Chain A
């Protein structure tokens, strides 16, 4: 019991993590060269805004970012030809100022050094605890201005850290930094699922010596049991409007899918099979619920309308396909496909184009894929020297990043929504 007491909650007791690091870079990928100066007076704020923006952009694989050789801020005069001569296509300068009420005013400008024009100029007012968020938002705006796609740097990822008998549900910035503990338990926690508004996490906790689905507010820590019926309660999946969740219950004697209102109450049975039905996830347009069932012998992915109906099989290749995640545009399905040699790899199916499938990983113990809200990245787990680590991959499988936690397993990642 002394060990229990010593676990504590101090940040220092958490295993150290670093940022997601780019491990494998695609050959021939075009990267936009961009200079991002350190923000004026950022040292006084305690947050290196410029450095966070540079790291975010570099990690996407689409940018080659570097620091400015001279001081830059949003009021600097940027002569495009000079920056072009140094090989920069884009330049960012900004500043941080502490206001009388304690908040910070974070300003920046983005210049196009090719066409010699100002592309963006913005200001954000944030409290000290949101300075990193402000930096990630700036990286998102730059990413969108230069690639045409929304960035995911300001989003968050939930995952479970397992260290000995300690299980903690973490929420981290998308770069892997600033992990915060939402729940610490001596019993397992699995299957975190973000509410569409990003304010709550549903998850499965074994704290009462059985699997129960809980919903927890991230900001207040207030939590409630959503499903605690006889047997196991698991695999929560939010509907796109956030009003309902599909859960897996075993009240019928075997795992089946049920729909529940977000407030709880009586479950409505969604699947009726004599086989295992679990791992539900809604398609973003809400028209289907994708799930795993072994009704055909081995586990395969099926889909069913959330109002009920007859399920339709989606995966056919291979004997064991599990853990579906659907891209935000509804066109792609990623899942875990067991190979003939027993290896588990990430697969990507093009739902729009006849269901063609390709593998995204060349590792052997890949689990738990989850799409980023812009649909450009997938977070998942893989095993490295006996430890589970978090990985991200681009959809072409070429650029991968890795997040390792020393002495602990990182499990069950779920990429949060934009709304932040």
Chain B
């Protein structure tokens, strides 16, 4: 095998891997397994002058390996002319009249362009448990997705997800902040 053909095979493999990565929302028959090299964090083992011979063969039961994801970059949605946030009343999932044009505007562009993919992120204010708020945010996002579907957007074009109370738009523990945090954001993907 010459170098050129092995390079093209590598490119094909890389392309196949990338294609696999882009379909992150599909059911996964076999869950991916990531293996990272354990890195002891601080403690006597890291700072001691000499590592005891035994600890090289026997891993301390107390050891916890660190996986660091902070080296990866985050994703940002591209902007266009349409507003992208729908706000909700306390404990409500109803899209208020003032936000219907936002949903309708995005529905029009998605019906016109079946290739357009969006994700609707639901959010909740900080009151209550994180898991319950995650479910509340999901319900808000589903409410927007349902409206988009009724306007002709295909199910493969849009996914409802939730960040619960984890990504507040406004900091603070008062109604002004909470009102800004009870929302659904429409993002391109």
Contact = CB atoms under 8 A, between A and B. Distances in A.
Instruction: Across the A-B interface, give the 10 residue pairs with the lowest CB-CB distance, nearest first.
Output: A102-B52, A11-B42, A129-B60, A221-B65, A255-B135, A180-B64, A188-B166, A210-B161, A185-B69, A127-B55
B32 A184 contact: no
Contact of A190 (B29, B70, B134): B134
B71 interface: yes
Contact of B34 (A126, A210, A223, A279): A223
Interface string A193-214: 0000000000011111111000
Contact of A130 (B33, B61, B71): B61
B25 A230 contact: yes
A211 B61 contact: no
Interface stretch (A30-38, A112-120, A142-150, A246-254): A246-254
Interface stretch (B2-10, B43-51, B78-86, B94-102): B43-51
A348 interface: no
10 contacts: A46-B48, A127-B55, A129-B63, A218-B65, A232-B161, A248-B134, A250-B160, A253-B142, A255-B135, A368-B130
B62 A276 contact: no
B68 A184 contact: yes
A294 B146 CA distance: 21
Contacts of B53: 101-102
B31 A231 contact: no
Contact of A368 (B34, B66, B129): B129
B4 to A, nearest CB: 36
Interface in B84-131: 119, 127-131
Interface of A: 1, 4-5, 7, 9-12, 14, 46-47, 98, 101-103, 126-133, 166, 171, 173, 178, 180-188, 190-191, 204-211, 216-226, 228-232, 234-235, 248, 250, 253-255, 263-265, 276, 278-279, 292, 299, 320, 322-323, 336, 338, 342, 344, 367-368, 411-412, 420
B169 to A, nearest CB: 14
Contacts of A127: 52, 54-55, 58, 60
Contact of B43 (A103, A178, A182, A183): A178
A276 B24 contact: no
Given A180-B64, A181-B64, A224-B31, A211 B134 contact: yes
Given A223-B67, A255-B139, A367-B129, 13 more contacts: A4-B73, A129-B55, A129-B62, A132-B62, A183-B68, A184-B69, A186-B72, A190-B130, A211-B164, A219-B64, A229-B25, A250-B162, A253-B146
Interface residues of B, number: 69
A185 B64 contact: no
A250 B159 CA distance: 11
Nearest to B167: A188
B131 A234 contact: yes
A222 B54 contact: no
Given A1-B73, A232-B134, A9 B52 contact: no
A155 B62 CA distance: 10
B60 A232 contact: no
A10 B42 contact: yes
A130 B66 contact: no
A13 to B, nearest CB: 10
A265 B27 CA distance: 9
A190 B131 contact: yes
Contacts of B71: 4-5
Contact of B67 (A204, A221, A250): A221
A254 B64 contact: no
A101 B57 CA distance: 11
